[in-house]
Amino acid sequence: MKKQSGMQFLFVNFAYINTQSNYDKEYITQAGELRVLSQRIAKNATEAAAGKAEAFALLKDARNDFETRWGYLVDGDAENGIPPAPESLSAEMSAVAEDWESLRDNAGSIVDSEQTVLSLHEVAATLAETIPQLQVEYEEVVDILLQSGAPAAQVSVAQRQSLLAERIIGSANKVLVGDEDSVLAADMFGRDASLFGRVLTAMLEGNEAMEIAKVTDEEALERLTEIAELFQFVTSSVDEILENSPELFQVREAANGIFTVSQTLLDKASVLAQGFETRAESRVINTLLGYVLGALALASIILIGLVSMRETRVRLAETAEKNERNQTAILRLLDEIGDLADGDLTAEATVTEDFTGAIADSINFTIEQLPKKRSQLRCTWQKHLSTRHKKLLEHQRRLTKWLCRLTKYLLTPPNHPRLLSGRYRSLTKVTKLYTILLLVWTAFVSRFKTPRSVLNVSVSHRKRLVTS
């Protein structure tokens, strides 16, 4: 019983250690994935803030994956039977949780601003295509003014417009970058776009306050009109960029925050993973001990099985030997009492220590008692026969007496001669009947070994009857 309890304890201990080792492997795996996901979130956040459409979906997936794996460590995985992380690593878990909350909020801000960011970058891309066209148009206006002999002031204003357009597109790009100079770039972007519009209007209509004379060349006016139409789109784009630039700045700040926190989160997740690994390594000795104990338990089971097989073989050999001895004893007993079946009452069975010894002793006692029992049986049988003989003789005398009376009646002379012949015939029949009955009676009596005297009497009666 103690051995069985010890075996059960070994198996329970081995199962517990193996289960805890599996938990440690799962914890280490989840912590390692958190490290990878922290860097993936930082990369996708930067790309999303830069207006890359695919980065938003990747950022959202990485954030959700991090949230799921972090939930496994905090609350456990009920589906796979994994409990929460142990309390011994609560400090490391709290450090990771603090950075994760900040990173999660910033990632959420970026994901929520997806439409604004993508729209602004689309406007900026269109603006980048429109501004060069404005520059080309203004260069043609400059050439026309030079050819037409326009005042040098008008030519200079037209040349400054081309340079101003270049500065507008540069400011727009700085606004989209969202760095420390983005606010100043946004202000400059608005002022340059406004100045470009006022100068363009002055060249078309003239403006004394700005000291810009109206262009009079028809071909130059046509070019300026086309520039004004293109600038309408630029104006709307500028308004949209200026209106949504604060939100774009927040997205950029969130991306910068994610990048900064991701580095500390990586370090803290590494510390957490190291804690899980240290915890697992401390259990390696117990695991090895569990395997050793399991091997010892298995060896004990094998040894017990071998001993049991050996004992079974010994018992089988002893049983076979005992059966052979019993078979020999039975055959010897049968040989010794074989003459008894032929009537030899001098036969004697050998009494041994085998199980046939008691049988042989009983047979010998029975053989000793047989002569006595035979004498008693003979006396009893003779008494029985004597009683039967007496009864048979009594029945025979009665039958003889009855037949004698019948014969006497038949032999009495009748009064009429015809009756005499009838009685004679009847007498003959009675004689034949008596003879038959006497023969049957004799055979019946002989079955009981009737004494010779009885048969003699029967024969004498038959002769007397026949003689009569």
How do residues 340-375 score in pLDDT, each as one tens digit? 666 666 666 677 766 666 776 677 767 666 666 666
Is the model more confident about 409 or about 92? 92
Q: How many angstroms separate the Cα of 154 from the Cα of each of 121, 158, 161, 200, 202?
A: 35, 6, 11, 11, 10
- Is the pLDDT assigned to residue 327 strictly greater than 80? no
pLDDT recorded at residue 380: 74
CA-to-CA distance for 78 and 92, rounded, in angstroms? 22
Q: Give the whole-number percent of the chain exceeding pLDDT 70.
A: 66
- Is the pLDDT assigned to residue 74 strictly greater than 50? yes
- Is the pLDDT assigned to residue 329 strictly greater than 60? yes
- Are residues 168 and 189 in contact, defined by beta-carbon separation less than 8 angstroms? yes
- Are residues 272 and 92 in contact, defined by beta-carbon separation less than 8 angstroms? yes
pLDDT recorded at residue 427: 56
pLDDT recorded at residue 408: 65
Binned at pLDDT 50, 70 and 90, residue 333 comes out as: low
What are residue 212's DSSP bridge partners? Answer: 207
In one-letter notation, the amino acid at residue 104 is: R
**Token pair listed for 74:** 């905090």
- Are residues 335 and 363 in contact, defined by beta-carbon separation less than 8 angstroms? no
Q: Give the whole-number percent of the chain exceeding pLDDT 90.
A: 11
Is the model more confident about 335 or about 160? 160
pLDDT recorded at residue 149: 83
CA-to-CA distance for 34 and 273, rounded, in angstroms? 9
DSSP tag of 351: P
pTM (2 d.p.): 0.52
- Is the pLDDT assigned to residue 215 strictly greater than 70? yes
Binned at pLDDT 50, 70 and 90, residue 3 comes out as: very low
- Is the pLDDT assigned to residue 458 strictly greater than 50? no
Q: How many angstroms separate the Cα of 460 from the Cα of each of 431, 443, 455, 466?
A: 14, 16, 9, 10
